[in-house]
């Protein structure tokens, strides 16, 4: 489980694969927060 308790992640040794299970709303919110400064610098922020 992630620290915010909103997703799961792990590593499957048999497939040598990292995986995440995450809600779409959380993914979208995190992406917006992570890229907010970038979009502000490009003047692409929608303040609605």
Sequence-distant (≥ 6) Cβ neighbours of residue 26 within 8 angstroms:
4, 6, 7
Nearest Cα neighbor of 5 from 19, 26, 29 is 26
Question: How far is C-alpha 34 from the chain's CA centre?
Answer: 8
Report pTM: 0.57
| DSSP H or E segment with residue 27 | helix 24-41
Q: Where are the domains of the chain?
A: 21-48
CB 15 within 8 A of CB 27: no
Distance CA 32, CA 27 (A): 9
Using one digit for the tens of pLDDT, what is the confidence trace for 14-35?
Answer: 999 999 999 999 999 989 889 9
Tell me the average pLDDT of the chain. Answer: 89
């Amino acid at each position: 489980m992630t620290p915010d308790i909103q997703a799961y992640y792990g590593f499957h040794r048999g497939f040598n694969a990292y995986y995440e299970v995450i809600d779409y709303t959380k993914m979208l919110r995190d992406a917006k927060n992570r890229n907010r400064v970038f979009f502000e610098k490009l003047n692409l922020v929608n303040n609605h």
